[in-house]
Amino acid sequence: MSMQDPAGSQTGPVGLPEADGPAQSAGTARIDRRLFLGGVGAVAAGAFVAQSATPAGAADEPVGALPREMQASSALAMRTFSKIDGTPVYYWRGDRGNTTLRDWRCTEAFYDRLVLWIRDLRQLSADGGMGGVNFLVSAGFYVNKPGQHGAGTAMDLDLVEWAGGRRSAPLDGHHAGDRTQRRRYLAVDATCRRRFRYVLDGWYNSDHHDHIHSDFAGLPTTCETGSSSDTVFVQAMCNNFMGSGLAVDGIWGPRTTDAFQQAKSRLGITGDPHSSIDSWQNMLARIARHGFGDQAI
C-alpha cells in the first residue's frame, strides 16, 4: 500500500547533457526572479557568542543578536522566532557550527507557511528513512533590502541535519555533490516547492550555489514551463533520478517534456501538474520520498 501524500491545501552529473531546443511554454514568458529578491550575498556575519556544539544545549542559552541587516524596523509587523514549529534554526555564516539561538523575523503569514513546510519535511524525510530533523541552518529570513526578504516573506536555507548526523547542505554545494547528496538536495528542494511559489537553488544560478531561496510571491504553486526556476528543478530531477541526460539550462523544450511525462508516469501521478496544485504537490511529495531514500524513479 502506498504512503499517503501530505495534505496539499494552500492554507494549511548523469550522462552528457543535450540542449532541449526552443522553450515551449504555451505562450508563457520565462520568469526571472532575480529582480524580486533581497538575496543573501551582501549580508555580513555579526559577532557571535561561542556556545556548546550540541543542539540540545543551545535551547537553554541566551538568544544571540543577528547582523543589523536582519533586524526589522519596529514599524514593520513581524513575528520573532528562534525555532520553526519547535525545530531550532541556527546561523552559520562566519561562525560555522554555532548553536546559539537567534531572533529571526518574518511575517505571521510566512511563518505559518514555514510550519506547513517543516511538517512536510519531517514526514517525507521520515518516510524516506532519514529519522527526525535535528536542526536547520539559515542565511536569513527578513533582511533590510528590497524584495521578498525585505517584505519578511522569504527564507534562505543553508542546511538540514537529521538524527544520526546525516545532512543536506546547500551551504556546501550539495547540488553538485555525489549522487546521494544530489538526490537528498532535490528532496529538500521539492519540499520547499510544495509550500512556496519561487524556489531558487544551486542549478538556478551561481548566486544560489550555497543556499536554497524560497519565497511567498506568486502563489499558488504549480509547475510552470515558463519558469526557469521550475524548469531547472525538473531537468535536474530527471537527470539524477532517471539518467535523462538533459541540459539543465532552464529552457523547457520537447526533451524536458518527454522526461517530465516519464517521471510523472513512473510516480503514478494523475492530473496535470502544470494546472493542478494537488497534482504538482503530490508529484513533489513522491520525488522527495525517492530523494530521501536515495531511490531511482
Residue-by-residue pLDDT tens, the chain, 297 positions: 445 677 654 433 333 344 565 444 333 334 334 333 443 333 333 333 333 333 333 333 445 555 555 555 544 689 999 999 999 999 999 999 999 999 999 999 999 999 999 999 999 999 999 999 999 999 999 999 899 999 999 999 999 999 999 999 999 999 999 999 999 999 999 999 999 999 999 999 999 999 999 998 877 899 999 999 999 999 999 999 999 999 999 999 999 999 999 999 999 999 999 999 999 999 999 999 999 999 999
Q: Specify the pLDDT at position 3.
A: 57
Q: Specify the pLDDT at position 209.
A: 97
On whether residue 10 sits in a domain, the answer given is no
On whether residue 241 sits in a domain, the answer given is yes
Q: Specify the pLDDT at position 220.
A: 82
By residue range, what is the domain housing residue 70? 33-292
Q: Specify the pLDDT at position 59.
A: 35
Residue linked to cell 560555522: 96
Give me the phi and psi of 216, to 5 degrees please: -90, -20
On whether residue 145 sits in a domain, the answer given is yes
On whether residue 23 sits in a domain, the answer given is no
Structural domains of the chain, count? 1
Q: Specify the pLDDT at position 266.
A: 99
On whether residue 174 sits in a domain, the answer given is yes
On whether residue 3 sits in a domain, the answer given is no
Q: Specify the pLDDT at position 25.
A: 39
On whether residue 168 sits in a domain, the answer given is yes
On whether residue 18 sits in a domain, the answer given is no
Q: Report the C-alpha gap between 104 and 63 in whole angstroms.
A: 10
